[in-house]
Amino acid sequence: MISENLREVRQEIQKSCALVSSSPEQVTLVAVTKTVDLATTIQLVQEGIVHLAENRVDKFLLKKQAMVDFPQVNWHFIGNLQRRKVKSIVNEIDFLHSLDNLKLAAEIQKRATSKLKCFVEVNVSGEAAKQGIPPTAVLDFVEELAGYDKIEVVGLMTMAPQAASPVEQQQVFQRLAALRDEVVAKHPLTTCTQLSMGMSNDYQEAIKAGATYVRIGSALFREG
């Protein structure tokens, strides 16, 4: 089923891009493999997926170690990263999608041996249960991160509320895009140009709002 699911997701990406006259090549499909086993993860890579995401440090390290024969993989860490776990993972991942405080940034700066690509997590919807900085803090936070030479802020990340309607999803995603545009307008040379937003239930709306990285899990692994 994975081959068929992947084909459908790619078709949906193309359709969504066509609706806003953008190119599918501008959208990076990140397969969220946190719920599947090693064999399934390898199958995805064999299908051409080179961006994989995990959210548990121990499970990720075991999986990466078992996949040394697939050096083409770019590893993304999503979800909350505890500071005490940074030293175990910071030099093993290519992207972090959940940078939202200076204490975490300082720990990355201390432990990283090379520059880490990071998305600043923004709580656009304002939900109490969600991680991320408020939209009003984005500009100041990105400016403060400029002082950390082991961190490359490549963009912003957010999640829409789980029960949001397509219109509500659009509002959240468009707000993040506007925040990114504010950063770029104030700092034309910034590397903060990407948008990590959209998951299996809302990636079409995210792409229409300008997503450049979509994090897809269950849509790739459903059966029947």
Of 75, 89, 80, 86, the closest CA to residue 33 belongs to 75
**Distance between CA 68 and CA 70 in Å, rounded?**
5
* 85-103 per-position pLDDT tens digit: 999 999 999 999 999 999 9
Is residue 143 a contact partner of residue 152, using CB atoms and an 8 Å limit? no
For residue 215, give its domain range: 2-221
If DSSP codes are grouped into helix, strand and coil, which group holds residue 200?
coil
Number of domains in the chain: 1
Structure tokens at 70: 């697939």
pLDDT higher at 174 or 163: 174
DSSP 22: -
Structure confidence at residue 224 as a pLDDT band (50, 70, 90) = low
The one-letter code for the residue type at 28 is T
* 179-199 per-position pLDDT tens digit: 999 999 999 999 999 999 999
* CA distances for 15 relative to 9, 30, 43, 84, 219, angstroms: 10, 18, 25, 42, 16
Q: What whole-number percentage of the chain has pLDDT above 90?
A: 95
Dihedral over alpha carbons 202, 203, 205, 209 (to 10 degrees): 140
* 149-162 per-position pLDDT tens digit: 999 999 999 999 99
Mean pLDDT of the chain: 96
Handedness of CA 98, 101, 104, 108 (dihedral sign): positive
User: What's the CATH number where 114 sits?
Assistant: 3.20.20.10
What letters, b where the CB count within 10 A reaches 16 and e where it falls short, cover 142-158? beebeebebbebbbbbb
Q: How many CA atoms lie within 13 A of 99 on its CB side?
A: 32
Q: Is the pTM of this model over 0.85?
A: yes
